[in-house]
Amino acid sequence: MGYALDALKKRREELESLLEKLRSEREQIKQKLDRVKAKEDELYQRLTKTRDPVEASRIEILLQKVTEIRKREEGRLEEVERRIRGAEHELEDVKRKIEILKPRAVKWIVEYEAKRSE
């Protein structure tokens, strides 16, 4: 029983470090996604304002590349969020198992038999 408890505690530490790493990765992806969306909006505005067909075709190509990058980053973000949800679920499961296996402090109740005076 002690071995299983130690293994579960080790797994809990691994999951907590994995969650921390995944959350930081999610924040990086969100920041990059925000930058890409801003660039996409800017290109779209330039495309709607331009009258030159040559420049419009260049902007369309750039817009397609930026849109592709945005879609790829959104896919990565969804994947990381799925992994985070899975790790959180497993961590809760491990914590519950640790609570079940952890030895509890036992409170001993001492009962004395009172002597009857007759």
**pLDDT at residue number 85:** 97
Nearest one of 29, 25, 13 to 90, comparing CA atoms: 13
The domain ranges of the chain are 2-101
Which of 20-29, 31-40, 54-63, 97-106 bottoms out in mean pLDDT, i.e. has the lowest?
97-106
What CA–CA distance (Å, rounded) separates 107 from 30?
Answer: 51
Question: Which candidate, 14, 4, 16, 17, places its Cα nearest to that of 97?
Answer: 4
- Tell me what the pLDDT averaged over the chain comes to: 91
**106: pLDDT strictly greater than 90:** no
For residues 96 and 115, the model is more confident at: 96
pLDDT tens for each residue of 10-43: 999 999 999 999 999 999 999 999 999 999 999 9
